[in-house]
């Protein structure tokens, strides 16, 4: 009996200690632990990272220009609020033709689009050309006309240059060709430049980049300016968890932890005590090797290569933010800035050979092994 009473006296003390520890944990979580660093895709307007464009967004905002992020999907802004400018910086994938037609009508109503993309081929009818060998890190001399009149220095990552039409205004060019032009659409116009990196936080103050984009900023000073984030995969809805304040989520987490502790303390058990070895022994590299050997023995070479390419596409989306749905030519253009000239040339040959193999009915074992090893090398280069 005395032992039972002693145990009953200890229980309130135990719960008091647990409550104290949980209280301290809540206070520490709210006041002491900083928020985790947020990862931003490149070229988004709310990104303070070197690859973002928050600097130019904040500049417009601080100069009393009405500016905002446009994330309304494929809807174009209404023209009832006056003249507007839509800034499109390095879309993650090409705009579809039906959407381009909507934007053309929007420009014809008196609005402007400022398109900054390294490869604008076939966007709004823009044509490009390339002279072959190109060094993206070289500081180049840029000459301008109109408000850009003069000679400047800048780095230009894209090896593509614009092919102007008869009535286009050429704004900027270098020894490789036209860098920026203006094209009229009814009462509005389209400004195109192949240098989106000039407006990135980490590069806007290098060379004469700021001087070169200042006339663009002056041109839109009287407009309502939108930064299009739909082209970066953003939509006008937040995650479900963002609807709740941090203190509520923290307390909710503590309640869940306490519930788990109580279940454990009561001796509740869920599931089997031990997992049979047969359920896990094959779920490792042994299984992967067995499947690969089966594909080789069965001669499913093209299926195996297709799976390998799909995996690399998923890896590009995860590591370098290049959507899996991007067509091959656009994908090769986007990755060229991350590769050496030797790698860029090798990647292009391997992917083009992979596309040709898909069109054939059969391939040899030797050709399969060679191509598979080349794709595996590409995978390692992305992961490293």
Burial of 49 (0-12, 13-18, 19+ CB in 10 A): middle
**How much is the average pLDDT of 151-161?**
96
DSSP state of 64: T
Quote the pLDDT of residue 293.
66
The model's pTM is 0.55
Alpha-carbon distance of 193 to 89, in angstroms, equals 10
Top pLDDT among 191 and 326 is at 191
Same domain, 121 and 167: yes
Quote the pLDDT of residue 238.
46
The number of angstroms, rounded, from the C-alpha of 293 to the middle of its chain's C-alpha atoms is: 36
CB 52 within 8 A of CB 202: no
Q: Is residue 59 part of a domain?
A: yes
Sort residue 136 into left (φ over 0), alpha (ψ -120 to 50) or beta: alpha
Burial of 266 (0-12, 13-18, 19+ CB in 10 A): exposed
Q: Which whole-number Å values give the CA distances from 219 to 109, 110, 113, 246, in the listed order? A: 17, 14, 11, 42
Same domain, 226 and 313: no
277: confidence class by pLDDT, cuts 50, 70, 90: low
Least confident of 76-85, 274-283, 332-341, 354-363: 274-283
pLDDT of 159 higher than 50: yes
Quote the pLDDT of residue 368.
83
- Residue-wise pLDDT for 16-71, tens only, equals 666 666 666 666 665 555 555 677 889 999 999 999 999 999 999 998 899 999 98
Same domain, 66 and 213: yes
Q: Is residue 308 part of a domain?
A: yes
Q: Is residue 268 part of a domain?
A: no
Percent of the chain whose pLDDT exceeds 70: 77
DSSP state of 243: G
The Cα angle at residue 162 between residues 160 and 164, in degrees rounded to 5 = 160
Q: Is residue 270 part of a domain?
A: no
- Residue-wise pLDDT for 65-118, tens only, equals 999 999 887 788 987 788 999 999 999 877 888 889 999 999 999 999 999 999
Q: Is residue 41 part of a domain?
A: no
Sort residue 189 into left (φ over 0), alpha (ψ -120 to 50) or beta: beta
pLDDT of 147 higher than 80: yes
CB 317 within 8 A of CB 324: yes
Can you read off the two tokens belonging to residue 372? 């598979």
Residue 141, strand partner residues: 153
Same domain, 228 and 247: no
Same domain, 361 and 287: yes
Same domain, 175 and 218: yes
Alpha-carbon distance of 45 to 58, in angstroms, equals 9
**How much is the average pLDDT of 133-160?**
95
Same domain, 137 and 206: yes
- Residue-wise pLDDT for 318-328, tens only, equals 888 888 888 88
CB 117 within 8 A of CB 196: yes
Alpha-carbon distance of 195 to 154, in angstroms, equals 10
Can you read off the two tokens belonging to residue 368? 């399969």
- Residue-wise pLDDT for 278-330, tens only, equals 555 555 556 666 666 666 666 677 888 888 888 888 888 888 888 888 888 88
Quote the pLDDT of residue 7.
46
Alpha-carbon distance of 170 to 164, in angstroms, equals 7
Quote the pLDDT of residue 292.
64
Same domain, 249 and 309: no
Query: For position 215, which CATH number holds?
Result: 3.40.50
Structural domain boundaries, residue 26 = 2-34+241-256
Count of other CB atoms within 10 angstroms of residue 255: 10
Total number of domains in the chain:
3
- In three-state secondary structure terms, 340 is coil
Same domain, 219 and 249: no
**How much is the average pLDDT of 353-374?**
84
Average predicted confidence (pLDDT) for the chain:
82
Q: Give the chain's largest Cα–Cα span.
A: 103
Q: Is residue 40 part of a domain?
A: no
Alpha-carbon distance of 167 to 146, in angstroms, equals 15
Q: Is residue 345 part of a domain?
A: yes
Quote the pLDDT of residue 245.
64
**First CA to last CA across the chain, in angstroms?**
67
Q: Is residue 340 part of a domain?
A: yes
- The number of CA neighbours under 13 Å toward the Cβ of 10 is 6
CB 228 within 8 A of CB 88: yes
Alpha-carbon distance of 128 to 120, in angstroms, equals 7
Of all helices (H) and strands (E), which one includes residue 152?
Answer: strand 150-155
The Cα angle at residue 166 between residues 165 and 172, in degrees rounded to 5 = 65
Which residues have CB under 8 Å from 329's CB, separation 6+? none
């Amino acid at each position: 009996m005395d032992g039972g009473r002693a145990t009953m006296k200890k229980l309130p003390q135990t719960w008091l200690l647990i409550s104290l520890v949980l209280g301290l944990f809540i206070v520490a979580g709210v006041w002491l632990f900083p928020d985790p660093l947020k990862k931003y895709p490149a070229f988004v307007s709310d990104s303070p990272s070197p690859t973002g464009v928050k600097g130019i967004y904040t500049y417009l905002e601080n100069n009393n220009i009405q500016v905002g992020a446009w994330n309304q999907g494929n809807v174009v802004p209404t023209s009832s609020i006056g003249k507007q400018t839509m800034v499109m910086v390095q879309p993650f994938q090409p705009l579809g033709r039906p959407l381009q037609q909507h934007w053309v009508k929007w420009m014809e109503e008196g609005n402007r689009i400022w398109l900054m993309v390294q490869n604008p081929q076939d966007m709004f009818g823009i044509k490009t050309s390339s002279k072959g060998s190109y060094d993206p890190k070289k500081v180049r001399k840029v000459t301008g006309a109109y408000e850009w009149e003069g000679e400047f220095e800048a780095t230009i990552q894209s090896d593509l240059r614009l092919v102007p039409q008869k009535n286009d205004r050429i704004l900027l060019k270098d020894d490789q060709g036209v860098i920026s032009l203006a094209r009229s659409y009814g009462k509005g116009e389209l400004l195109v430049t192949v240098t989106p990196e000039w407006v990135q936080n980490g590069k806007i103050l290098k060379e004469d980049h700021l001087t070169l984009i200042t006339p663009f900023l002056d041109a839109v000073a009287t407009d309502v300016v939108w930064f299009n984030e739909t082209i970066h995969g953003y939509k006008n809805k937040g995650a479900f968890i963002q609807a709740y304040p941090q203190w509520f989520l923290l307390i909710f987490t503590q309640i869940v932890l306490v519930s788990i502790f109580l279940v454990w303390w009561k001796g509740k058990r869920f599931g089997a005590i031990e997992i049979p070895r047969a359920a896990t022994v094959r779920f490792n590299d042994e299984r992967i090797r067995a499947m690969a050997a089966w594909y080789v023995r069965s001669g499913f070479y093209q299926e195996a290569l297709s799976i390998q390419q799909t995996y690399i596409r998923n890896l590009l989306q995860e590591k370098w933010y290049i959507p899996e749905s991007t067509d091959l030519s656009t994908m090769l253009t986007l990755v060229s800035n991350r590769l050496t000239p030797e790698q860029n040339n090798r990647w292009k040959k391997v992917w083009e050979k992979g596309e040709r193999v898909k069109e054939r009915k059969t391939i040899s074992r030797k050709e399969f092994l060679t191509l598979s090893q080349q794709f595996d090398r590409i995978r390692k280069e992305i992961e490293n």
